[in-house]
């Protein structure tokens, strides 16, 4: 065990670096990060001894031997690894504080109405309930996660819907108006997990979806038996002509049906979950449909996921499918674990660079943000993470995170708890 | 997120972490626990039928060996004869017919042990027809035995094996104050659960603190317990009954001994058999408990009735009472980073394991409570170790490995048999393709009692559950 004083030095050093960053920011000076191993995820590849200049909220220059502008704060990366800010997967960060406390769970529609009135509510939009002051936000962002896609969910106990509503990407820097423009998407749950609220089969789900689309095209045709509310028709109408629709679906045959449905209705499909996506990798590659996959799936959790395997990511990538990652196990509170799952995908054959792109540029592209996020390149928003080492490795930690050019205070409710009880353990050791 | 329901049912809502009541072992650091009364459990009616498979002598040569006792030996050999560790050291001589596993540049550790699993009782696929982990019909079901729910064809046993798991404790869920008996299994393929039972492992009793019993009974069924104080009253009432049960039996035995032919045989009750097994030190209490103050109250209760808690499971707030746990010789089965899924998990921190470990005589254990987590206990330990290092508690790999080998063996009372690479112990061994605390680490070979149970280079020989037979492509080779 290290001594207490040694520990305190470490903690103080971290705090000191915070003060330095905060000071630099307060004066509005440029920041030059010098001597990092820069994974640009872009045309410049990986720069062994690279420099990145931040000006305001943007990346102003990327290269080697950059000159610090007058007044710039210079950070010596000492060879540490710099990446774009990581994606937090499909989550409810800022929408959910405690999973089992209903009053803190806002990502799902739960209006206690009969399910036929709630199953198809494309107008439900939980992003307006996003709370940037949630304790989950700092807990997550100090681990290098700078943005996430808020995905409307299904209530844990009873009720719910299979067209769950609309979601969007948000930045996690704590601003109120956090939505990232151009990322809006509709979310649809297909398959066995929602059978109980959508007619008991994939056939029923597609039947209901077809009817809903018809109501958009011919609003009066359904008469008294309309599935959609007037607002719902407007909302769905924004997706039937070129909108992005995330189909959460696992079974290979069902994925093909989702692709066909999207094609019929000129939607831009994204497959989420995709446990058996590797089976239909050729179809996905041909149609340029990306997959947000759960890299840990290797058990037949249900009969839609019999073909789950740990090299799903590797097989899809090899086939030319754009991939990124999500969690199906506590995706909100565990969002910081997403990079571990990418590392596991590497252990099962996914190339390292593809895994890193899967946490950065790929999700940005999938959600329409590629022009501003996901890479380290001139003009991109300065969402950056300085890591102690290989960012996919579990022994690696984020040393400093910047979002939109501003250094994140590397503290959270959890670090406060840690520091309080660290003292108690040390006192006990000293006895 | 649509899979939350199933996850919560397994992991948070109903899974209880019970730890088997620990016998007052000589190795325990806590104060000696009084034995309530002499008591003998009825003879083992569902005995293990596991037989150590025959295997040729095996020499694992030249690896980086973490012994599980806190030692690291670089370039060392592990010699296995008749299913047991025969020798550990450099340049060992091997008998003529020895199978050699070249471990140069690879790492060798004891087989991993998970003290908290529901494999078999909540098998994959998670169908209603096989969801047998929680007898959530009454808050006290000390009469049920988890082994009677174990489905040996759960494909999760094989994915856990690929992660180096050689021994695991299967627990009932955490809906109930007293969930029932646990069972310790060797991770070997078998048609019956008896064929997996760890020979001689003591039974555990699963108990649960906190929100789950309150939610299932108070909220769900409008009956006791509905509060934390109701939970405590519920446990205490049972221990009082168990004391009476033991006293009645003792009186009967005394009368018999005095030649009293009119002595009436007390009625036997399964529930009280198990509770009396705890009070007499033969069954180990494994207790699901998140909050610091609940654990502290349970520790006092264990002294009130004269038993010992082997381990608190989940213990999200264990770091707040790391000293108390260590002083009482109680292990803590913990996650590296799960938090926030309910109020009692809201104070979870990633340094929990490191802080529990740092207390003098602390006994930190990484457990899973998850068919996914059990596949990577080594990575969970690696994450927690990195958090410890950042706050000044850097520990080497040879220490961290104890969190997933010898410490869980101690909590289960099987430390004389497995959990470390010491001469005479079961040859439960994992050969890793690199540092096991890396995200890229994979188990190359897993040996159980000296027999090759898993070999990554031989996918065709990999064990497959009946369920996976004939399915179009299972998990990755």
Residue A28, SS3 per DSSP: coil
Q: A407: which strand partners?
A: A402
Task: With CB atoms and an 8 Å threshold, state whether B322 touches A425.
Answer: yes
> Quick one: pLDDT at residue A355?
98
Which tens digits make up the pLDDT trace of B141-178?
Answer: 999 999 999 999 999 999 999 999 999 999 999 999 99
The interface residues of chain A toward chain B in range 256-295, judged by CB-CB distance below 8 A, are 279
Task: With CB atoms and an 8 Å threshold, state whether A421 touches B320.
Answer: yes
Of B320, B342, B376, the CB nearest to A100: B342
Q: Two tokens at B449?
A: 């009692």
Indicate whether B14 pLDDT > 80. Answer: no
Q: Are B21 and B63 spatial neighbours (Cβ–Cβ below 8 Å)?
A: no
- Tokens 């997990």 sit at which residue? A193
Q: What are phi and psi of B415, to 5 degrees?
A: -70, -15
Which tens digits make up the pLDDT trace of A171-225?
Answer: 999 999 999 999 999 999 999 888 888 888 999 999 999 999 999 999 887 778 8
Q: Are A251 and A189 spatial neighbours (Cβ–Cβ below 8 Å)?
A: no
Q: What are phi and psi of A16, to 5 degrees?
A: -60, -40
Overall average pLDDT of the B78-85 stretch: 98
- CB-count exposure of residue B215 (10 Å: 0-12, 13-18, 19+): middle
**Superfamily (CATH H level) for A86-373:** Metal-dependent hydrolases (3.20.20.140)
Of A136, A348, A394, the CB nearest to B386: A394
- Within 8 A of A301 by CB-CB distance, chain B residues are 3, 6, 124-126
Which run of H or of E encompasses B84? strand B84-89
- Sign of the Cα torsion B422, B427, B429, B431 reads positive
Indicate whether B220 pLDDT > 90. Answer: yes
The residues, any chain, with a CB within 8 Å of residue A361's CB and separated by 6 or more, are A41, A42, A84, A370, A374, A375
Residue of chain A whose alpha carbon sits nearest to that of B386: A395
Task: With CB atoms and an 8 Å threshold, state whether A100 touches B12.
Answer: yes
Report the distance separating Cα A102 and Cα A180, nearest Å.
Answer: 27
Indicate whether B33 pLDDT > 70. Answer: no
SS3 content of chain A, % helix, strand, coil (to 5): 35, 20, 45
Give the pairing of strands A163-171 and B284-289. unpaired
Give the pairing of strands A163-171 and A145-150. antiparallel
The interface residues of chain A toward chain B in range 86-105, judged by CB-CB distance below 8 A, are 90-92, 97-101
Indicate whether A5 pLDDT > 90. Answer: no
- CB-count exposure of residue A203 (10 Å: 0-12, 13-18, 19+): exposed
Overall average pLDDT of the A108-125 stretch: 79
Does residue A373 sit at the B interface (CB-CB below 8 Å)?
A: no
Task: With CB atoms and an 8 Å threshold, state whether B358 touches A156.
Answer: no
Selected from 3.40.190.290, 3.40.50.1100, 3.40.50.720, 2.30.40.10, the CATH number assigned to the domain covering A4-84+397-430 reads: 2.30.40.10
Residue of chain B whose alpha carbon sits nearest to that of A298: B475
Flag the least confident range among A103-117, B265-279, B355-369.
A103-117
Find out whether the peptide bond into B225 is cis, omega within 30 degrees of 0: yes
Overall average pLDDT of the B275-291 stretch: 97
Of A301, A307, A414, the CB nearest to B350: A414
| Best residue in A119, A254, A298, A430 for a mutation probing chain B (most B CBs within 10 Å) | A298
- Within 8 A of B471 by CB-CB distance, chain A residues are 300, 306-307
Indicate whether A26 pLDDT > 80. Answer: no
Give the pairing of strands B112-117 and B165-170. parallel
Does residue A397 sit at the B interface (CB-CB below 8 Å)?
A: yes
Q: So where are chain A's domains?
A: 4-84+397-430, 86-373
From B213's Cα to the closest Cα of chain A, the distance in A is 14
Report the distance separating Cα B336 and Cα B381, nearest Å.
Answer: 7
Q: What percent of chain B has pLDDT over 70?
A: 91
Q: What are phi and psi of A87, to 5 degrees?
A: -80, 140
Overall average pLDDT of the A144-159 stretch: 78
Does residue A136 sit at the B interface (CB-CB below 8 Å)?
A: yes
Overall average pLDDT of the B300-319 stretch: 98
ipTM for the predicted complex comes to: 0.92
Average pLDDT, chain B: 91
Indicate whether B109 pLDDT > 80. Answer: yes
- Within 8 A of B6 by CB-CB distance, chain A residues are 301
Task: Find the Cα–Cα–Cα–Cα dihedral B333, B339, B341, B346, rounded to 10°.
Answer: 110
> Quick one: pLDDT at residue B473?
67
Q: A36: which strand partners?
A: A50
> Quick one: pLDDT at residue A116?
63
A41: left (phi over 0), alpha (psi -120 to 50) or beta: left
> Quick one: pLDDT at residue A155?
53
| Best residue in A163, A299, A397 for a mutation probing chain B (most B CBs within 10 Å) | A299
Rg of chain B, C-alpha, whole Å: 22
Overall average pLDDT of the B424-430 stretch: 98
The residues, any chain, with a CB within 8 Å of residue A336's CB and separated by 6 or more, are A88, A139, A140, A143, A144, A145, B337
Task: Check residues B139 and B37 and name the one with the higher pLDDT.
Answer: B139
Report the distance separating Cα B108 and Cα B68, nearest Å.
Answer: 10
Task: Check residues A24 and B214 and name the one with the higher pLDDT.
Answer: B214
Does residue A129 sit at the B interface (CB-CB below 8 Å)?
A: no
Report the distance separating Cα A333 and Cα B141, nearest Å.
Answer: 32
Question: Which residue, B439, B426, B331, is CA-closest to B378?
Answer: B439
Q: Are A377 and A43 spatial neighbours (Cβ–Cβ below 8 Å)?
A: yes
> Quick one: pLDDT at residue B31?
41
Overall average pLDDT of the B303-332 stretch: 98
Q: Are B419 and B411 spatial neighbours (Cβ–Cβ below 8 Å)?
A: no
> Quick one: pLDDT at residue A220?
81
Report the distance separating Cα B41 and Cα B44, nearest Å.
Answer: 8
- CB-count exposure of residue A415 (10 Å: 0-12, 13-18, 19+): buried
Angle at which helices A252-264 and A202-217 pack, to 10 degrees?
10
> Quick one: pLDDT at residue B345?
98
Q: Are B408 and B367 spatial neighbours (Cβ–Cβ below 8 Å)?
A: yes
> Quick one: pLDDT at residue A10?
42
- pLDDT range class, residue B137, cuts 50, 70, 90: very high
> Quick one: pLDDT at residue B39?
64
Task: With CB atoms and an 8 Å threshold, state whether B476 touches A309.
Answer: yes
Report the distance separating Cα B306 and Cα A173, nearest Å.
Answer: 53
Task: With CB atoms and an 8 Å threshold, state whether B13 touches A298.
Answer: no
Overall average pLDDT of the B407-422 stretch: 98
Report the distance separating Cα A271 and Cα A247, nearest Å.
Answer: 5
Indicate whether A127 pLDDT > 90. Answer: yes
Buried b (16+ CB within 10 A) or exposed e, B283-295: bbbbbbbbbbebb
> Quick one: pLDDT at residue A3?
42
Q: Two tokens at A115?
A: 């399910």
Indicate whether A14 pLDDT > 90. Answer: no
From B244's Cα to the closest Cα of chain A, the distance in A is 39
Task: With CB atoms and an 8 Å threshold, state whether B359 touches A425.
Answer: yes
- Within 8 A of B372 by CB-CB distance, chain A residues are 296, 299, 329
Q: Per-residue DSSP letters for B221-267?
A: HS-S--SHHHHHHHHHHHHHHHHHHHHHHHHHHHHHHTT-TTPPPPP
Count other C-beta atoms under 10 Å from residue B433's C-beta.
17
Rg of chain A, C-alpha, whole Å: 23
Indicate whether A408 pLDDT > 70. Answer: yes
> Quick one: pLDDT at residue A222?
77
> Quick one: pLDDT at residue A297?
95
From B319's Cα to the closest Cα of chain A, the distance in A is 7
The interface residues of chain A toward chain B in range 25-84, judged by CB-CB distance below 8 A, are none
Indicate whether B79 pLDDT > 90. Answer: yes
Indicate whether B268 pLDDT > 50. Answer: yes
| DSSP label of B362 | -
Report the distance separating Cα B285 and Cα A118, nearest Å.
Answer: 46
Report the distance separating Cα B172 and Cα B186, nearest Å.
Answer: 17
Q: Set out the domains of chain B in order of their start, with CATH numbers.
A: 4-54+112-422 (3.20.20.140)
Which run of H or of E encompasses B381? helix B377-390
> Quick one: pLDDT at residue B419?
98
Buried b (16+ CB within 10 A) or exposed e, B386-419: bbbbbbbbebebbebbbbbbbbbbbbbbbbebbb
> Quick one: pLDDT at residue B165?
98
Which tens digits make up the pLDDT trace of B242-254?
Answer: 999 999 999 998 9
Q: Two tokens at A223?
A: 């008469």
Question: Which residue, B197, B206, B215, is CA-closest to B46?
Answer: B197
Q: How many residue pairs from chains A and B have C-beta atoms closer than 8 A? A: 204
Report the distance separating Cα A212 and Cα B359, nearest Å.
Answer: 61
Overall average pLDDT of the B73-91 stretch: 98
- pLDDT range class, residue A154, cuts 50, 70, 90: low
- pLDDT range class, residue B1, cuts 50, 70, 90: very low
* Total residues belonging to chain B: 477
Indicate whether B35 pLDDT > 70. Answer: no
Indicate whether B23 pLDDT > 50. Answer: no
| Best residue in A300, A328, A398 for a mutation probing chain B (most B CBs within 10 Å) | A300
SS3 content of chain B, % helix, strand, coil (to 5): 30, 20, 50
Residue of chain B whose alpha carbon sits nearest to that of A313: B476
> Quick one: pLDDT at residue B261?
87
Q: Are A408 and A173 spatial neighbours (Cβ–Cβ below 8 Å)?
A: yes
Task: With CB atoms and an 8 Å threshold, state whether B437 touches A279.
Answer: no
Indicate whether A12 pLDDT > 80. Answer: no
Indicate whether B34 pLDDT > 60. Answer: no
Task: With CB atoms and an 8 Å threshold, state whether A394 touches B437.
Answer: yes
pTM of the model: 0.93
Task: Check residues B360 and B17 and name the one with the higher pLDDT.
Answer: B360
- Within 8 A of B475 by CB-CB distance, chain A residues are 298-299, 308-310
Does residue A305 sit at the B interface (CB-CB below 8 Å)?
A: yes
Report the distance separating Cα A235 and Cα A188, nearest Å.
Answer: 13
Overall average pLDDT of the B25-36 stretch: 42
- pLDDT range class, residue B21, cuts 50, 70, 90: very low
Find out whether the peptide bond into B125 is cis, omega within 30 degrees of 0: yes
Does residue A301 sit at the B interface (CB-CB below 8 Å)?
A: yes
Indicate whether A366 pLDDT > 80. Answer: yes
- pLDDT range class, residue A28, cuts 50, 70, 90: low
Give the residue ranges of DSSP H helices in B280-340: 292-305, 322-327
| DSSP label of A173 | S
Report the distance separating Cα A318 and Cα A302, nearest Å.
Answer: 26
Give the pairing of strands B429-432 and B443-448. antiparallel
């Amino acid at each position: 065990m290290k001594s207490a004083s040694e520990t305190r030095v470490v903690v103080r050093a971290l705090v000191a670096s915070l003060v330095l960053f905060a000071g630099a920011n307060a004066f509005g000076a440029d920041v030059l990060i010098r001597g990092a191993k820069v994974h640009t995820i872009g045309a410049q590849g990986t720069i062994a001894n690279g420099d990145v200049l931040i000006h305001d909220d943007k990346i102003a220059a990327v290269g080697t031997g950059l000159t610090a502008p007058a007044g710039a704060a210079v950070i010596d990366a000492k060879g540490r690894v710099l990446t774009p800010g990581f994606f937090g997967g499909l989550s409810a960060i800022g929408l959910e504080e405690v999973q089992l406390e209903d009053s803190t769970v806002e990502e799902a529609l739960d209006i206690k109405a009969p399910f036929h009135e709630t199953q198809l509510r494309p107008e439900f939009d939980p992003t307006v309930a996003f709370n940037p002051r949630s304790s989950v936000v700092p807990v997550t962002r100090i681990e290098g996660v700078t943005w996430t896609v808020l995905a409307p969910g299904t209530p844990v106990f009873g009720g719910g819907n299979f067209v769950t509503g609309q979601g969007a990407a948000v930045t996690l820097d704590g601003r109120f108006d956090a939505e990232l423009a151009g990322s809006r998407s509709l979310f649809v749950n297909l398959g066995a997990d929602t059978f109980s609220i959508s007619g008991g089969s994939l056939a029923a789900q597609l039947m209901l979806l077809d009817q809903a689309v018809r109501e958009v095209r011919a609003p009066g045709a359904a008469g008294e038996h309309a599935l959609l509310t007037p607002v719902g028709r407007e909302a769905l109408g924004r997706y039937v002509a070129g909108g992005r629709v995330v189909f959460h679906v696992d079974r290979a045959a069902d994925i093909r049906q989702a692709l066909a449905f999207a094609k019929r209705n000129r939607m831009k499909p994204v497959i989420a979950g995709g446990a058996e996506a590797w089976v239909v990798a050729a179809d996905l590659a041909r149609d340029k449909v990306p997959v947000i996959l759960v890299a840990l799936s290797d058990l037949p959790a249900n009969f839609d996921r019999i073909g789950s395997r740990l090299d799903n990511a590797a097989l899809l990538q090899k086939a030319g499918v754009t991939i990124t990652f999500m969690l199906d196990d506590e995706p909100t509170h565990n969002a910081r674990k997403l990079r571990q799952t990418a590392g596991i995908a590497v252990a099962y054959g996914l190339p390292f660079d593809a895994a890193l792109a899967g946490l950065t540029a790929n999700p940005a592209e999938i959600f329409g943000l590629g022009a501003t996020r996901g890479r380290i390149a001139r003009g991109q928003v300065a969402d950056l993470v300085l890591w102690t080492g290989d960012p996919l490795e579990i022994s690696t930690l984020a040393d400093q995170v910047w979002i939109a050019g501003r250094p994140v205070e590397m503290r959270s409710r959890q670090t406060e708890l840690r520091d309080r009880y660290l003292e108690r353990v040390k006192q006990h050791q000293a006895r | 997120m649509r899979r939350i329901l199933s996850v919560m049912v397994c992991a948070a809502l109903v899974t209880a972490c019970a730890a088997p009541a620990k016998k007052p072992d000589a190795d325990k650091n806590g104060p000696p626990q009084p034995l309530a009364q002499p008591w003998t459990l009825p003879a083992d009616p569902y005995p293990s039928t596991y037989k150590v498979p025959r295997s040729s002598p095996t020499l694992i040569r030249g690896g980086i060996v973490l012994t599980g006792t806190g030692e690291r030996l670089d370039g060392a050999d592990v010699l296995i004869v008749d299913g047991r560790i025969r020798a550990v050291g450099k340049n060992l001589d091997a008998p003529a017919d020895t199978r050699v596993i070249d471990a140069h540049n690879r790492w060798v550790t004891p087989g991993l042990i998970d003290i908290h699993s529901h494999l078999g009782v909540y098998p994959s696929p998670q169908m209603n027809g096989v969801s047998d982990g929680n007898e959530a019909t009454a808050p006290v079901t000390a009469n049920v035995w988890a082994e009677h729910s174990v489905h040996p064809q759960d494909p999760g046993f094989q994915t856990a094996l690929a992660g180096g798991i050689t021994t695991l404790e299967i627990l009932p869920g955490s809906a109930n104050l007293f969930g029932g008996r646990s069972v310790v299994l060797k991770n070997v393929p078998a048609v019956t659960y008896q064929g997996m039972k760890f020979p001689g492992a003591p039974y555990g009793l699963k108990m649960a603190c906190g929100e789950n019993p309150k939610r299932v009974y108070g909220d769900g069924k409008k009956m006791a317990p509905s509060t934390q104080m109701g939970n405590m009253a519920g446990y205490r009432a049972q221990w009082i009954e168990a004391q009476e049960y033991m006293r009645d039996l003792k009186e009967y035995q005394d009368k018999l001994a005095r030649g009293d032919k009119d002595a009436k045989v007390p009625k036997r009750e399964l529930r009280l058999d198990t509770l009396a097994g705890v009070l007499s030190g033969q069954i180990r209490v494994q207790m699901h408990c998140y909050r610091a103050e609940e654990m502290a109250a349970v520790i006092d209760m264990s002294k009130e009735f004269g038993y010992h808690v082997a381990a608190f499971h989940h213990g999200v707030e264990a770091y707040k009472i790391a000293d108390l746990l260590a002083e009482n010789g109680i292990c803590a089965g913990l996650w590296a980073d799960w938090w926030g899924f309910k109020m009692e998990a809201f104070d979870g921190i990633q340094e929990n394991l490191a802080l529990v470990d740092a207390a003098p005589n602390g006994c930190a254990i990484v457990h899973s409570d998850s068919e996914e987590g059990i596949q990577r206990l080594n990575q969970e330990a690696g994450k927690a170790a990195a958090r410890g290092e950042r706050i000044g508690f850097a520990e080497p790999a040879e220490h961290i490995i104890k969190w997933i080998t010898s410490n869980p063996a101690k909590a289960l009372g099987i430390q004389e048999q497995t959990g470390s690479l010491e001469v005479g112990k079961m040859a439960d061994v994992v050969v890793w393709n690199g540092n096991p605390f890396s995200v890229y680490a994979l188990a190359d070979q897993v040996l159980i009692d000296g027999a090759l149970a898993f070999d990554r280079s031989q996918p065709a020989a990999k064990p497959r559950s009946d369920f996976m037979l004939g399915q179009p492509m299972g998990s990755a080779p």
